[in-house]
Amino acid sequence: MSIITFKIPGTPVAKQSGSWGNGHMYTKEPSRNYESLVIETAAREAPDVPIEGPVEMWIVAVFPRTKGLLFRFKKDGRYKHGKERLPYIQKPDFDNLKGVCDGITKAGIWVDDKQVYRAKVEMYYCAIGEQPHAEITIQWDE
């Protein structure tokens, strides 16, 4: 069993639908920029030869807290919602994190994202003091 784990810094970005212009489909800039960051980060962990067999994948997407989740009580300074990660139930939907898989494909970790036969996605607001990021774990049999 082999495992690759890496962390993509910054707020996870959903893959946005493209736009048509001059007879071509264009990916919107935020999606394009995030995919480039995924490629750059994943390429550092890519094996010498792309994985060809079935792959399991875990994505932990950590988003910034909203202002309301940062509320502190004046009396004692405690955070109303605690300091730990909190479940993230806003947009983007977990299935819109497809840009991560596309970036991993382009980074050469695997041949095609259709090889992912099992995936688990967890989405959270940051813990206090934590920066937004995505944690990726890929596991396969050699």
CATH code for the domain of 110: 3.30.1330.70
pLDDT top residue among 140 and 99: 140
- Domain extent, residue 83, equals 2-140
- The secondary structure of 6-17 as a DSSP string is EEEES---PPPP
| Beta strands at 133-140 and 116-125: parallel, antiparallel or unpaired | unpaired
Contacts of 26 (CB under 8 A, 6+ apart): 18, 19, 20
Q: How confident is the model at residue 20 (pLDDT cuts 50, 70, 90)?
A: low
Q: Measure the CA–CA gap between 112 and 118, rounded to whole angstroms.
A: 14
pLDDT top residue among 50 and 89: 50
**Percent of the chain predicted with pLDDT > 70:** 88
How does the average pLDDT of the chain come out, rounded? 88
pLDDT top residue among 94 and 111: 111
Model pLDDT, residue 130: 96
Q: How confident is the model at residue 137 (pLDDT cuts 50, 70, 90)?
A: very high
Total of domains in the chain:
1
Is residue 67 within 8 A of residue 53, CB to CB? The reply is no
User: Residue 79: which of 68, 64, 89, 90 has the closest Cα?
Assistant: 68
